[in-house]
Each structure stands twice: as structure tokens, then as C-alpha cells.
Amino acid sequence: MQKGHLYIVSAPSGAGKSSLISALLQQLPPGKARVSVSHTTRQPRPGEQHGTHYYFSGMDEFENLIAQGLFLEYANVFGNYYGTSIPMIEQNLAQGIDVFLDIDWQGAQQVRSKMPNCKSIFILPPSLQELERRLVGRGQDSAAVIAKRMAKAISEMEHYHEYDYLIINDNFEDSVEEIKAILLAEKVSLKAQQQNHQLLIQQLLAKS
């Protein structure tokens, strides 16, 4: 069976990362790819389901998993832990499922140190003006909060060069197609093909 690939996807808030991943998964064959479900110690919000939105766990359980080295990456955000389980990722990859990690550049650095074969995609907005327009268009934040988000976005975008692929999300449909092209390129890369078709290659090159 062909193994799945692990993809890190990062972007500043408002660049369209979540929407792009959602649209991509809808266009791929069922069971071909999925977004990693994180563990967290925070309480479930209305409508959230264990195993679908997050794996909810207690503080002691989470810290025990940390001690065992079972997280690919984790962080403490406002007193709550969030983390990505190594066994969950490895299980999906072994089943031939591509896994997407929706994480920031700091989490990406942690993941690369433990799974150097992963590939990473950074998504940029077409301009700062467009990014601000999208944030304002959400209608969720005050002007002060949006200003803070813009400052954070600029700081995050400074790390784009750490990634393998760069998407400029100007036209949404084009951006989805570009991510699909990345998946295809990785599937037929020399390293992937050698790993997935080792026996065939040996047979083709065997001396008669």
C-alpha cells in the first residue's frame, strides 16, 4: 500500500487557510486525506464532539502523553494545552491517507524536527489591504483587535521562507488547484515512487 504524506499548512489569520483545506478535501476522493484532529485540555464548546473537532483530555492525561513523547507538537495557549498525536498521524499515513496539520510556524518547526520527510505549505494573502479587508469582513473583531491581528500576521509571514511551497491566495479556485498539484507532485516524486514501488523497480532492473 502506498503510504500517505504529511503536510503542514500555515498562514496568517484571514489568508484563507481553513477554507482552502476544506474545499480541497471535498474535491479529493473519500478517505484520501484528512485534517489532523488535535488533543486539547480545554472544555468542549457547544456542538463540539470528541474525536471529531478535538480529542478532549484532562491536564494529567495530556502531561502524561507529553512525558511519553507521544506528541508531534504541542503548545500551551492561555492555560490550555493543544497537541498533535504521533500515533494518530502514523496510523493514518500507514493506511495511505494524506494528513494535513493546520498549525503555525512554531508548531511547524517542532514537526519538522521529528518528521523531516513532511512537506510544508505557506499561504499568503495577495496584499495587506486584502488581508485587512477579509478580517474586517468577518465582522467578529473590533478595530483594535484587527490591528493586533494585522501586526501578528506580518510577524508570521516573515517565516514563509521556511516552507517547501508558497501559495498566494488571490483566486480561491486557483489556489485549491495549486495545492492539488503539490499533492500530485509529492505522490510521483522520486523518493515516494522508490519507496512505494521498490519491488517493481527491482524487477525492472534485474539482470536477465
Q: 71-111 pLDDT, tens per residue?
A: 999 989 889 999 999 999 999 999 999 999 999 999 999 99
Question: 208 pLDDT exceeds 80?
Answer: no
Q: Where are the domains of the chain?
A: 6-35+98-205
Distance in angstroms (rounded) separating the CA atoms of residues 148 and 156: 12
Q: 53-66 pLDDT, tens per residue?
A: 999 999 999 999 99
Lowest mean pLDDT among 39-48, 108-117, 148-157, 187-196: 187-196
The pLDDT of residue 171 is 96
Q: What is the pTM of this model?
A: 0.87
Q: What is the mean pLDDT of residues 7-25?
A: 95
Q: What is the mean pLDDT of residues 31-44?
A: 94
CA distances to 18, 50, 57, 205 from 62, in Å = 26, 15, 6, 49
What percentage of residues in the chain have a pLDDT greater than 70? 99
The pLDDT of residue 141 is 84
Distance in angstroms (rounded) separating the CA atoms of residues 103 and 72: 11
Mean pLDDT score of the chain: 93
Q: What is the mean pLDDT of residues 8-34?
A: 94
Question: Are residues 176 and 20 in contact, defined by beta-carbon separation less than 8 angstroms?
Answer: yes
Distance in angstroms (rounded) separating the CA atoms of residues 65 and 184: 34
**CATH-assigned architecture of domain 6-35+98-205:** 3-Layer(aba) Sandwich (3.40)
Q: 142-158 pLDDT, tens per residue?
A: 899 999 989 999 999 99
